């Protein structure tokens, strides 16, 4: 998703169950978002990144796999929180 700074896109994306959106400003943040946090939606700021850097960020995001291991514990905690709130919303 692309907007001015990428932040609003990430906020909207993270409202969707199962989506882990991350704003990435460079290849490092794209790599870490995928490798450590299992992000599955990339949010970019069109007013922050030039076209060449944006392409590199997208390439890095798509080429990086989730690292699992110690990072999986954190991601599972996030998923647990998400599922508790989803169950709560179903009751309303």
- In this predicted structure, the answer to whether residue 88 has a pLDDT above a threshold of 80 is no
- Residue bearing tokens 């909207």: 12
Question: What global pTM score does this model have?
Answer: 0.84
The better pLDDT of the pair 27, 88 is held by 27
The better pLDDT of the pair 82, 53 is held by 53
pLDDT tens-place string over residues 11-23: 999 999 889 999 9
Query: Are 1 and 9 in contact, with CB atoms under 8 Å apart?
Result: yes
Report d(CA 91, CA 35) in Å as an integer. Answer: 34
Counting residues of the chain whose pLDDT is more than 90, the rounded percentage is 70
Query: Are 43 and 83 in contact, with CB atoms under 8 Å apart?
Result: no
Query: Are 74 and 37 in contact, with CB atoms under 8 Å apart?
Result: yes
Mean pLDDT for the chain overall: 91
| Rounded mean pLDDT, 68-79 | 88
**pLDDT given at position 23:** 97
Tokens of 64: 């990086």
């Amino acid at each position: 998703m692309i907007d001015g700074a990428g932040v609003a896109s990430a906020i909207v994306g993270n409202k969707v169950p199962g989506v882990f959106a991350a704003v990435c400003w460079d290849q490092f943040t794209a790599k870490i978002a995928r490798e450590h946090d299992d992000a599955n939606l990339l949010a970019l700021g069109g007013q922050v990144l030039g076209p060449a850097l944006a392409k590199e960020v997208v390439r890095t995001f798509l080429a990086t796999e989730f690292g699992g291991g110690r990072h999986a514990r954190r991601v599972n905690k996030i998923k647990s929180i998400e599922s508790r709130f989803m169950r709560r919303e179903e009751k309303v």
